[in-house]
Structure 1
Amino acid sequence: MQSPNLTSFSVLVAVIAAATAFGWWRRRHDGRLRAVRDRRPAAAGPGGTAAAGDAATLATLGVRPGAVTLVQFSAPVCAPCRAARRVLDDVAGRLDGVTLLEVGVDEHLDAARALEVWRTPTVLVVDATGRVVRRAAGVPDRDELLGTLAPLAARARG
């Protein structure tokens, strides 16, 4: 039988290892833009398909077809939201045809749930057809965002 001190030490080491692994994983994935796959029709909104439901929800938030839109879901007490806003302001200012829309989750909780926003900041990249094509939870990387938006903005203008 192990002594209580050895057992406590083993538990402590296991907890520290788990926390370190989670922190590494979170840092690696936080703010990364990821492609959005079409959701199953079971998650469909009022239009009959998930994409139509997303488009209707985005329209109620102020997203207009014909422009590439960055939609940032944020909260008043969210410090990373302010950092994300600075990045998005900079990126939207560099590219013609890209608009920025900030949405408060506390005022639009139903829309956040419909669009599967579970933390703030969450950034949605909406193409000119009104479809969410990429999303990031956390502060997005400026260069990755510019690389994603440049071709979308060029298509929207052309």
Structure 2
Amino acid sequence: MTGVWVLLGVLALGGVAGALLRARNGRIRAAKPSAPTLPGRVSGALAPEGVTLIQISTTFCAPCRHTRAILSALADKTDGLTHVDLDVTETPEVAKALSVLRTPTTLALTPDGREVFRVGGVPRGQELLEALKPHLANA
């Protein structure tokens, strides 16, 4: 009988943990006050104007493909918004320098490299656009 209770407890705990992770997926988080020093690969990808969405992804990441589609479409239809996809499979030091622990992670960066916010997981297009409006010149 004890084994049944342990099994039920583990299943309940797993369900709660899964629900918490699902709730955090795609949520926009404000940037921390101290911005990290950007690796050359990232600073070289920044657009001279507007906001650059840097997507940190890996080769075999299925959610990364979905994120790429969302961000590309958003950048195509929004003035002042650029999307860059960085695959960090071969260069994990980029992810480490940016404190990225999961893929996909999207960073919104200004031309001077200041992080505006970040999104862990697949972003929600409309929420992302709303968060970007104050940072885009022609929003």
Q: Taking structure 2 as the reference length, what is the TM-score of the superposition? A: 0.90
Alignment of 1:123 onto 2:118:
no
RMSD: 1.9
Q: Give 1:65-76 correspondences, 5 Å limit.
A: 65-76=48-59
* Structure 1: distance between partners of 2:69 and 2:80: 18
| TM alignment of 1:1-158, pairs within 5 A | 6-39=1-34, 51=35, 53-54=37-38, 58-60=42-44, 62-154=45-137
Structure 1 or 2: more helix by fraction: 1
Q: List gaps (5 residues or longer) in structure 2.
A: none
Q: Percent identity?
A: 38
Question: 78-87 or 126-135: which moved more?
Answer: 126-135
Bigger RCO of structures 1 and 2 (CA < 8 A, at least 6 apart): 2
Query: How many equivalent residue pairs?
Result: 139
Cα displacement (A) at 1:65: 4.1
User: How far is the alpha carbon of 1:128 from its aligned partner?
Assistant: 3.4
Change in 2 beyond 3 A, CA 1:82/1:97: same
* Larger radius of gyration between Structure 1 and Structure 2: 1
Cα displacement (A) at 1:151: 2.1
TM, length-normalised to structure 1:
0.80
Gaps of 5+ in 1: 1-5, 40-50
Q: Distance between the aligned counterparts of 2:46 and 2:61, measured in 1?
A: 23
Q: For residues 39 and 127 of structure 2, what CA distance do their matches in structure 1 show? A: 24
Q: 2:53 & 2:28 partners in 1: Cα distance?
A: 12
Shift of 1:91: 1.1
Maintained 8 Å contact 2:30/2:117: yes
- Secondary structure of 1:103's counterpart equals strand
1:137: Cα distance to partner? 1.0
8 Å contact kept, 1:33–1:135:
yes
